[in-house]
Amino acid sequence: MAIIDPRHHDMKSACFVLHTDLFTPWPVVRAVREIEVLKEIGYQIHAVCWIKNNKELPKNEEKEGVNVHRVFMVPPKGMKSRMQVYRKVLSEISEKVIELQPDAIVCHDLEILKAGVIAKKKLEVPLFFDAHENWPEMVAQNSKLEARYFSYQEKKLLKHVTHSYTYGNDLTEKYNQLGFPATTLYNSKSIDDIPTVSKEEINEIKEKLRIEKDDFVVGFAGSVSLKNGAQQVIDAQYILNKNFLFLVVGGSGRKEDLEGVKKHAKKNGVEDKVIFTGRVPPDDLLRYSAAIDVGTALFQPLSENEKVRIPNKIFDYMAMKVPMIVSDFPNMRKIVVDEAHCGLAVNPMNVKEITQAILHFQENPEDAREKGKNGRKKFEEQYCWDVQKKKLTDSHPLWRSKA
């Protein structure tokens, strides 16, 4: 299908600006969900994407109802060279956005926000900003100099933003305190996306995975590595030496990460107690998660950014009534322990604490069921995308009526 020329079309349009491709190698789910909301209220959607490492993608294409425009530029090594390329790519992206003449601009992540500001000034249209990460804290892992640069840019560029959307209340409060309006949007699924899985189906899944009736299943949904709790859970298996399994549901992520987990399990002599489903169809991911007795989200304190992250899997566990053990970081503790009462928070580096939390759920099935029900109730009332969608449309008059 041909790209629609916005200069010869009466429909209002919004242009999303991203520092990666919208669909490849996998969809930017947060942006895709926002796009669906804007399409529902009548907006034609464009996406201008910075492609850093995949020249095989077409420069322009219409995909899933979105006109995708790509700017190709590989960032070199070395800060000075990287900043030169960065300025060049921001210029090209802003020029493309200006050419598209949208009625609104939606920038995803701080790295690309300056391009949106340049286009906003030229077009005199509203500019919205979606922060997936605390960007200065994230880049601080590799460069304190770049972290300072982006911290400065953040305060400077937010002055031109109409409204921001953030991953969590900590960043929302920071922006609001600086005088910049912001709304927290959780990247969760809609209630209609959550399957109902019967006990019979759960038993079939367990049988397929060779899980015995008496096995207690500790699970992790997503791409596993030794840096997101797998090492500590495997060490807990070794300590307990009981009938519980570690089930990894879904894609295996990077090959070296998967191999690292397998080697650690073998080193501890529990390789037969670690089960990998491998990649499964998206519709089956939650169904397999229903076979988990307690889910984990034990991310390590590798950086300040890691400590504030809110992994989507905790909302999936809630939706499937799976109680959970999470890292005792402020955002996760607030959601899981203080608000939803659907799990326990532990030091993710402390195997003894993790072991005790697993034993708690194994030895107290009534509490596990109660926490599972609490999670589902809170998911429906506060965290599901149905609620987040309303927060998005209520955040600004532009999104409250048909375009």
The structural domains of the chain, with segments of one domain joined by +, span 6-188+385-399, 191-382
Residue 1: its pLDDT value, please?
Answer: 41
* Distance in angstroms (rounded) separating the CA atoms of residues 192 and 195: 8
Would you state the pLDDT for residue 53? 85
Tokens standing for 353? 């604490």
Q: Do domains 6-188+385-399 and 191-382 have the same CATH topology?
A: yes
Provide the pLDDT for residue 21.
Answer: 96
Tokens of 254: 């990077």
pLDDT at 9: 53
Closest CA to 295 of 250, 239, 247, 329: 247
Q: Determine the pLDDT at residue 79.
A: 67
Residues 246, 275: contact at Cβ < 8 Å?
Answer: yes
Q: Which two tokens stand for residue 275?
A: 């089960």
* pLDDT value at residue 51: 95
- Cis, peptide link before residue 58, omega less than 30° from 0: no
CATH class (in words) of the domain with range 191-382: alpha beta
**Closest to 232 in 3D by CA, of 330, 337, 325:** 325
Could you give the CA distance from residue 329 to residue 303 in angstroms, rounded to a whole number? Answer: 12
pTM of the model: 0.91
Q: pLDDT at position 2, please?
A: 45
Contact yes or no for 155/177 (Cβ under 8 A): no
pLDDT in tens, the chain (403 residues): 444 454 445 689 999 999 999 999 889 999 999 999 999 999 999 999 999 987 889 999 999 999 999 999 987 676 667 777 888 999 999 999 999 999 999 999 899 999 999 999 999 999 999 998 887 787 777 778 777 888 888 999 999 999 999 999 999 999 999 999 999 999 999 999 999 999 999 999 999 999 998 899 999 998 888 888 999 999 998 888 778 899 999 866 678 888 899 999 999 999 999 999 988 887 788 999 999 999 999 999 988 888 898 999 999 999 999 999 999 999 999 999 999 999 999 999 999 999 999 999 999 999 999 999 999 999 999 999 999 999 999 999 999 877 6
320 to each of 193, 360, 383, how far by Cα in Å? 11, 20, 13
Quick one: fold of 6-188+385-399? Rossmann fold (3.40.50)
